Amino acid sequence: MECGVYFTTYKDDMALRRKPLEKLRLALFAALVVIFPFIASPYWLNLANQIALATIGAIGLNILVGYTGQISLGQGAFMAVGAYGAGVLTARLGIPFWLSIPIAALITAAVGVLFGLPSLRLKGLYLAIATLAAQEIVEWTVVHWTSLTGGVEAMVIPAPRILNMRLNTDFRFYWIAVGMAALTALFTANLFRSRVGRAFVAIRDQDIAAEVIGVNVYLYKLLAFGTSSFFVGLSGALLAHYRTIISWERFTLETSIVYLAMIIIGGLGSIQGSFFGAAFMTLLPAFINTAGRALQSTFPAIATVLPAVQQSIFGAIIIFFLIVEPEGLAKLWRDIKNYFYVWPFSY
């Protein structure tokens, strides 16, 4: 009878999916993901797409914050670069949408490296403030560089099409968003089994020790900023093509904080956690909204206070989850798995 997980070879220990049960769960999840769009209502498909895009962004941020230990408040800015990059490339330069997405992600990676430069000298809260500057600078640029971005006016970009088929319907875009999210997750999972990924983790755990064992801290920090921003930009570019209307309001400091909340609630340094956090932070406001709208028809008087109430409930639930499980939903999921793995003979 097993009472824990013990590996006898390094190969087993290093495997991406280590247990048969994990493989089964993955297969079940994949099957669910494939079946889902055929049974879900448009409302749910829309939420699923939002979750998939948020997952890409959250994984991107997790690479930087959770795995490499560099706090960033510039998430909204990097998403804006990705979104406006894709928007300008398609709407103004006429580049096809599928090409604009990788180019926009690469531009964001470059911008990320640029704003990552202060990290070479700054750590912790000081770095957070430096990235806050990135957020403000990019936001200001987007609002005031009117000839490029349209300024305060929202930028409308043509709907993505292939062979005259509109791809940004909820059903069709689902495959793009989920496919990209899966690729991002796969890439990141493998990244942290590689030399580069381990260097990131070494920097997070103790940067001086990392330097002593031969990790080029400067290089890897910038690399972490670049990799992270690439995925954040990817998320922004996909979002731009999905919604086709982009405006600066989507990429404010609030966005940065929501994404930080996502990875903290989901679990720092965990891909699963990024997904859980993204799902949680997308579904919770949707749930509160639906509940609010249902109440609104019964008690019309609450309509005016509803926005404020929703915000407070949102905050309260986040605090509740953080107190109950500070290591995030990923840890909770791990606990559940471990509990059942050895059930009923746990000790």
Which residues contribute to the site for another protein (CB under 8 A)?
41-43, 46, 152-154, 156, 243-247, 249-250, 283-284, 286-287, 289-291, 293-294, 300, 303-304, 306-308, 321, 324-325, 332, 335-336, 339
Q: How far is the CB of 314 from another protein (least distance, A)?
A: 13
CB of 152 to another protein, least distance (A): 5
Q: How far apart are CA 96 and CA 89, in angstroms?
A: 8
Residues 254, 67: Cα–Cα separation, whole Å: 22
- CA distances 63 to 136, 141, 150, 255, Å, are 22, 26, 32, 17
CB of 115 to another protein, least distance (A): 23
Residues 6+ apart with CB under 8 A from 26: 17
Which lies closer to another protein via its Cβ, residue 42 or residue 124?
A: 42
Which residue bears the tokens 């400067």? 218
The residue among 109 and 246 lying less far from another protein, judged by its C-beta, is 246
Nearest to another protein of 106, 306 (CB atom): 306
Nearest approach, Cβ of 243 to another protein (angstroms)? Answer: 6
Q: Nearer to another protein by C-beta: 211 or 325? A: 325
Minimum CB separation of residue 197 from another protein in Å reads 30
Shortest spacing between CB 218 and another protein, in angstroms: 37
Residue number with CB closer to another protein (94 or 344): 344
The DSSP symbol for 160 reads: P
Of 202 and 278, which has the nearer Cβ to another protein?
A: 278
User: Could you write out the DSSP letters of every residue in 192-260?
Assistant: TTSHHHHHHHHHHH-HHHHHHTT--HHHHHHHHHHHHHHHHHHHHHHHHHHHSEE-GGGGSHHHHHHHH
What are the distances in angstroms from CA 174 to CA 279, 311, 323?
15, 28, 34
